[in-house]
């Protein structure tokens, strides 16, 4: 219950400013929100970061958008001529323009954009935004999935048939060994940082892969300082050592992966029953039985090898010549091919590619094996790469060797209260899904799930390929600062027929909109959350976060905007006729938890759910559940990838903009440029908050002291970061944990903090600080379209 005195309320809830969703207590004095404190009784409330503590400053910031605004001057005019309008006028105009665009060009010509729910409060509303998009008929959501989520949610589905580690999260409470790859929970997910500290105290081991020694890397048993972008080679090299030493779970590989399935050495395809018999099935595969000395059929429908009652013991290694309908063909088990592929990455070669010493490689392999169960998490450090897909698959392959998936202390799909699916997948026809931007060029990429990239959106606006995009509905996504190629983005957004943007503040992207809508902070709006993904305890919690204070001005929540706009568009039947409470009740119904119970208990209600382990082994009608892949096994070898011209086994791909791949550029730009999230800011947000800006007043670029000395640069000097795409400014910060040829920048700088006289920065100027302005879209991951924010080339010079 809400604790009260005569003038003070203490309101339980959770901070929604990032993916951590830390349990919190909002302190309200005489109707004013004055403080946010951690709530130790909440499963994610052991600590609260500086951003959360600054929440009152966000709510009462003088630059907040408070009223709907309409542009009255052309987009090329330096003065937009913003005019305050009513909500009715704004919503009517938006609905009228969107309907007209859809009628003339098709609903796919309207793109929806959204800030990442990992680094904003949009988790409150994202399911409803997706539902609106699909009900409207658009297959295009621009949400940076290729930069923040692709590796952990989508790329690994080609291995596991599920989001690992995105949904199968690390069971840090029971892990024997924790592996963080390109992930610093101290700045990305504070609840993981707290749980990791507790795990280390009880004796868990920690391995961190990161070019910088930051956060948990300072406590790690092993820190691997990998060259940015070479992570796939490192994963393959560790796997090589584990396989060569016999440090892998042979039973798990045999029983639950497609490792025993035979692949033809002549064309690389998996051998099928039809290869052996013209009347056989192309959907059944072949393995070699060691016990019976002959081939046996594997049927994905039953998950079984051979006939009933047989004990075929399929082989994992060897070369076998089988008589097919085309003649004799040599075949090898997938695991044998995988082992041979990993053999190409011995420790000496890994050191040459990645900069990781052989003894570290050996120690890492040993620790992963001897300290099982292993729980791992990978973040955007390995997603913002030109080889992001292969990196994610290589790490997934390495993890599979430990046999820890969905086991206590491994990566587990924690049980959550059951809830109704409201994202509206069925509202978008399959034919319309096929119109997603980029799906023709990258059919296995994010567009397959209706997530499109800015590069695809900008091309459709400016070049009208594959069709013209005419409208954009944006929810908090500051595309021109948070994504690459900002100049082209500005040109594209200026060319739109109609653009509506909902946000807390006017920002460089919102300035190009036709209508700007004021949005509440998470502390001025109610929201429903079912499951907090950190642990089994947290995932069992459902919570209705209370409104702490009344909205300022005429600000509405993103959810209210979605429901109101849906009704104006004639889509109210899909949105409970605009009744958000009715939608919440529908979503909660399967859980057995009522909205009334959640209102009575603002700290949340724990549902009676039990996390089950090794769910893939559960049997129904005698058939194991298996995995949601074509073979119903973990796919070390992906025939889906092979059918689309991609490597079926994870490959190392040299970063497309690196000293090795672009020696022509390296002459002018000899340093490897990466970037990292700042602990005090989320993407392009919060730099206007005085308490945070005092702690980090200027954009910085970290470089090794020797690199600084060679360029006559001292600590705190203003420098230019120059790349093939341009230059921006930052202050030099020396960091001797970096390799001498690696520098690390920060993205998201544009906003001023006038209360303390801290400047803003022109996001399109070389004298500005927009890091992403100097990252191009020319070199991208061929599967996902991921952009190399974390592995590029640059030069640093002093700004005289």
Quick: pLDDT tens for 561-617: 999 999 999 999 999 999 999 999 999 999 999 999 999 999 999 999 999 999 999
Stretch among 108-117, 248-257, 299-308 having the lowest mean pLDDT: 299-308
Average pLDDT over residues 657-666: 97
Residues 753 and 690 sit within 8 Å (Cβ to Cβ): yes
In 3-state terms the chain splits into helix, strand, coil percentages (rounded to 5) of 30, 20, 45
Q: 23 φ, ψ to 5°?
A: -60, 135
Alpha helices (runs of H) in 311-408, residue ranges in sequence order: 334-342, 347-354, 358-370, 388-401
The b-or-e profile of 38-58 (16+ CB within 10 A means b, else e) is bbeebbbbbbbbebbbbbbbb
pLDDT one-digit tens code per residue, 349-365: 999 999 999 999 999 99
The two structure tokens encoding residue 668 = 């002018």
The Cα–Cα gap between 351 and 702 comes to 24
The Cα–Cα gap between 159 and 168 comes to 13
What pLDDT, on the 0 to 100 scale, is given for residue 210? 98
Tell me whether residue 799 is exposed, middle or buried, using C-beta atoms within 10 angstroms of its C-beta: 0 to 12, 13 to 18, 19 or more: middle
Judged against a pLDDT cut of 80, whether residue 649 lies above it is answered with yes
The Cα–Cα gap between 429 and 446 comes to 18
The Cα–Cα gap between 729 and 274 comes to 62
In this structure, are strands 742-745 and 671-675 parallel, antiparallel, or unpaired? parallel
Closest CA to 190 of 48, 301, 90: 48
Measured in residues, the chain has a length of: 800
Q: Check residue 306 and report its DSSP letter.
A: S
Residues 522 and 16 sit within 8 Å (Cβ to Cβ): yes
What pLDDT, on the 0 to 100 scale, is given for residue 1? 58
What pLDDT, on the 0 to 100 scale, is given for residue 522? 98
- Other beta carbons less than 10 A from residue 61's beta carbon: 19
Question: pTM to 2 decimals?
Answer: 0.97
Close Cβ partners of 541 (under 8 Å, ≥ 6 residues apart): 42, 43, 531, 532, 604, 605, 606, 607
What pLDDT, on the 0 to 100 scale, is given for residue 5? 67
Average pLDDT over residues 229-246: 98
Closest CA to 457 of 727, 243, 146, 197: 146
Q: Check residue 271 and report its DSSP letter.
A: P
pLDDT one-digit tens code per residue, 467-499: 999 999 999 999 999 999 999 999 999 999 999
What pLDDT, on the 0 to 100 scale, is given for residue 711? 98
Q: How confident is the model at residue 153 (pLDDT cuts 50, 70, 90)?
A: very high
Average pLDDT over residues 384-413: 98
């Amino acid at each position: 219950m809400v604790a009260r005195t005569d003038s003070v309320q203490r309101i339980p809830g959770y901070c929604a400013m990032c993916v951590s969703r830390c349990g919190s207590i909002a302190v309200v004095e005489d109707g004013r929100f004055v403080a946010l404190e951690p709530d130790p009784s909440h499963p994610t409330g052991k600590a609260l970061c500086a951003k959360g503590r600054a929440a009152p400053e966000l709510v009462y910031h003088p630059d907040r958008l408070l009223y709907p605004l309409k542009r009255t001057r052309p987009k090329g005019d330096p003065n937009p001529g913003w005019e305050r309008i009513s909500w009715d006028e704004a919503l009517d105009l938006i609905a009228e323009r969107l309907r007209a665009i859809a009628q003339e060009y098709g609903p796919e010509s309207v793109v929806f954009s959204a800030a990442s729910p990992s680094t904003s409060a949009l988790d409150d509303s994202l399911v409803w935004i997706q539902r609106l998009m699909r009900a409207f008929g658009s297959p295009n959501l621009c949400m940076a999935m290729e930069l923040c989520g692709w590796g952990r949610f989508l790329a690994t589905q080609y291995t596991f048939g599920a989001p690992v580690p995105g949904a199968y999260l690390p069971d840090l409470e029971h892990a024997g060994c924790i592996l963080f790859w390109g992930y610093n929970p101290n700045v990305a997910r504070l609840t993981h940082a707290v749980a990791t500290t507790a795990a280390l105290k009880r004796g868990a081991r920690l391995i961190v892969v990161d070019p910088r020694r930051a956060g948990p890397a300072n406590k790690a048993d092993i820190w691997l300082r990998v060259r940015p972008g070479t992570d796939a080679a490192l994963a393959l090299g560790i796997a090589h050592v584990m396989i060569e030493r016999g440090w892998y779970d042979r039973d798990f590989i045999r029983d639950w992966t497609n490792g025993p399935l035979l692949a033809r050495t002549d064309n690389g395809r998996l051998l099928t029953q039809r290869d052996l018999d013209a009347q056989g099935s192309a959907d059944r595969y072949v393995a070699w039985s060691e016990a019976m000395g002959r081939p046996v059929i594997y049927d994905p429908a039953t998950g079984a090898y051979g006939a009933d009652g047989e004990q075929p013991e399929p082989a994992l290694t060897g070369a076998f010549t089988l008589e097919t309908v085309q003649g004799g063909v040599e075949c090898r088990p997938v695991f044998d091919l995988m082992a041979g592929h990993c053999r190409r990455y011995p420790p000496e070669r890994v050191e040459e590619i990645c900069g990781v010493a052989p003894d570290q490689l050996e120690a890492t392999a040993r620790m992963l094996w001897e300290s099982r169960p292993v729980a791992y998490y990978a973040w955007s450090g390995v997603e913002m790469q030109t080889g992001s897909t292969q990196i994610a698959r290589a790490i997934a392959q390495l993890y599979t060797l430990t046999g820890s998936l969905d086991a206590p202390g491994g990566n587990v799909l924690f049980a959550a209260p059951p809830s109704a699916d409201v994202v509206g997948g069925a509202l978008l026809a399959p034919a319309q899904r096929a119109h997603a931007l980029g799906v023709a060029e990258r059919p296995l990429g994010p567009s397959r799930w209706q997530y499109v990239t800015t590069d695809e959106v900008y091309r459709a606006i400016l070049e009208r390929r594959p069709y013209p995009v005419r409208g954009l509905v944006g929810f908090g996504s500051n595309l021109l600062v948070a994504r690459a190629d900002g100049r082209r983005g500005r040109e594209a957004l200026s060319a739109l027929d109609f653009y509506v943007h909902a946000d807390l503040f006017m920002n460089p992207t919102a300035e190009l909109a036709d209508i700007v809508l004021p949005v509440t902070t998470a502390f001025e709006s109610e929201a429903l959350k079912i499951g907090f993904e950190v642990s089994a305890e947290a995932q069992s919690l459902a919570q209705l976060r209370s409104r702490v204070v009344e909205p300022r001005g005429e600000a509405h929540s993103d959810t209210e905007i979605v429901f109101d706009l849906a009704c104006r568009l004639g889509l109210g039947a899909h949105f409970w006729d605009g009744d958000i409470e009715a939608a919440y009740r529908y979503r909660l119904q399967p859980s057995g938890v009522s909205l009334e119970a959640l209102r009575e208990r603002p700290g949340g209600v724990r549902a009676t759910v039990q996390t089950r382990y090794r769910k893939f082994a559960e049997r129904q009608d005698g058939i194991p559940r298996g995995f949601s892949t074509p073979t119903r096994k973990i796919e070390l070898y992906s025939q889906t990838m092979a059918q689309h011209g991609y490597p079926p086994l994870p490959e190392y791909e040299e970063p497309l903009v690196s000293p090795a791949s672009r020696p022509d550029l390296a002459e002018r730009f000899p340093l490897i440029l990466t970037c990292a999230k700042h602990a005090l800011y989320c993407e392009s947000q919060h730099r206007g908050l005085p308490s945070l800006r005092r702690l980090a007043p200027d954009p910085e670029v970290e470089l090794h002291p020797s690199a600084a000395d060679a360029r006559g640069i001292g600590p705190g000097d203003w420098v230019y970061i120059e790349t093939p795409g341009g230059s921006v400014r930052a202050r030099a910060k020396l960091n001797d944990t970096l390799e001498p040829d690696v520098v690390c920048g920060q993205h998201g700088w544009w906003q001023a903090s006038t209360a303390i006289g801290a400047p803003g920065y022109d996001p399109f100027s070389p004298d500005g600080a927009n890091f992403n302005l100097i990252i191009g879209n020319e070199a991208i991951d061929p599967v996902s379209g991921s952009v190399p924010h974390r592995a590029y080339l640059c030069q640093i010079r002093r700004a005289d």
